[in-house]
Amino acid sequence: MNNPHGIPVLETTLSAAPLAPRYAALGAPYHQPVATTPLTQPRLLHHNSALAHDLGIDADAMQSPALLATLAGNSPWPGYASHASVYAGHQFGTYVSQLGDGRALMIAELGTQDGRRLELQLKGAGATPYSRGADGRAVLRSSIREYLCSEAMHALGVPSTRCLSLIGAADLVFRETTETAAVVCRVSPSFVRFGHFEFFYHRGMHQHLAPLADHVIDEHFPHLHAHERPDRYAAWLGEVIERTAHLMAHWQTLGFCHGVMNTDNFSILGLTIDYGPFGFMDAFRQHHICNHSDGEGRYAYSAQPEIGQWNCSRLLQATLPLLSGSPEQAVEIAQEIHARYAPAYSQAALRRWADKLGLIEVRADDANLLNELLTILHRGRSDFTRSFRHLSRVRTDVNAPAHGVREEITDIAAFDAWITRYRTRLIAEQNTNDTARAMRMNRVNPKYILRNHLAQAAIEQAQQGDMAELGRLVNLLAHPYDEQPDNEHYAAEPPADQRHLEVSCSS
């Protein structure tokens, strides 16, 4: 069926018919209806068939002109009015009183085949009241990076938003240069951020905090019985703080850097959200900065756990009115909740690092063993991912050479001394089945990550109209822990002239 303007309209016979809106039902002032801005000659560049299947969208529907029009922002999802939400946030440590969905619009709330509920959001679908004078568009370059990385993170086991589709168009967008527009359909259980609560707190609109918190608890923390537990807000915030700590531990142990860790980019569900400037480290540097706009290194790799904790303190400040009618008691409760972050991070990080080292138990001196290895990697700028992947080839036999990982190291004397201590540690817990240990280690130490130079190659080819490399990367990164012998070259270090690619906030 076509509308009067000739744009195909999505049929409601899809099994992915929208559910009764819940976030949308909050209404003003949490969000406001905004129509998407159509693209010129949109084309489907890639789609996530597995996620589409989960949403009840079959292959034929995914290729239909009607769904293309909807995912491009050229026609609405039947029965759902697109809208943009308002929030605030601390950006590089400075509070900004109003941000919001400046180029993102929620277009549907759908159910999955296993009973979950997901929200669909178009990024790059046009200006909103929160665009702050910008055009509301996204460019192909950054859209490809988000499309690839959100799915790569999902395959790595990291909590993350996901992407259903990547749409390209002929429309021109000016950033540092003139580029073409694109739209990604982002999918998440929720897009609520820390900054949503900051907006209402700092504006003195405290009466709007509880309805938003109750929505989040009812939808995503139902075990807390939002309207029955008097301590539900404290219990909920405690879980948010611990989820955030666990996410930081996951990032650190994969060498992932999120270049814009502002509070408006922190998910209330502990998901990785907003893939702007980001990067997986190649050469390991404790103070690695992935965003060249971050001149002071506020969001450097080594700073991420502390920034996660600081962001949690901002969330707790913004929810003080929910914790108690007494300001003093609210602060006391918030401090107790905040104190849960450090042990949650420490325990999660130590467990993940131990798994990467192939250790079944976590013992008192393991942190020193790990830090010695990281110091050796840092000193030689050794490749983070390759070094840990090759570590599984180390044998407890003192006469067996440490092939693979030793070739990544420059300070051989220090490494050989470390290997001796490492073998002693493995033997101490009777962890001498090298084959079983290697299998465990290879399930947590990926072989393939989205390196910047790989993403750049896919982007450059896509800008010329060739999507083949994009498709190859999608398939590769869906199985990051597998050997994939035919794709061995994707696990290599970047060529010398591509080892220092930088990304910025421009997208």
Smallest CA-to-CA distance from 323 within 234, 215, 456, 421 is with: 234
391 burial level (CB within 10 Å; 0-12, 13-18, 19+): buried
**Active-site choice (54, 101, 171, 264):** 264
Q: Is the peptide bond before 8 cis (omega within 30 degrees of 0)?
A: no
Q: Decide if 264 is catalytic.
A: yes
What does residue 257 show for φ and ψ, rounded to 5 degrees? Answer: -120, 125
Give me the amino acid identity at 53: H
490 burial level (CB within 10 Å; 0-12, 13-18, 19+): middle
Through-space distance between the first and last CA atoms of the chain, rounded to whole angstroms: 35
Smallest CA-to-CA distance from 22 within 160, 190, 161, 163 is with: 190
How many residues are given for the chain? 507
Q: Can you read off the two tokens belonging to residue 486? A: 């035919």
Give me the amino acid identity at 90: H
Smallest CA-to-CA distance from 34 within 85, 91, 110 is with: 85
Taking the C-alpha atoms of residue 383 and residue 467, their distance in angstroms, rounded to an integer, is 28
Q: Give the dihedral sign, CA 72/76/80/82.
A: positive
Give me the amino acid identity at 417: A
Residues noted as catalytic: 264
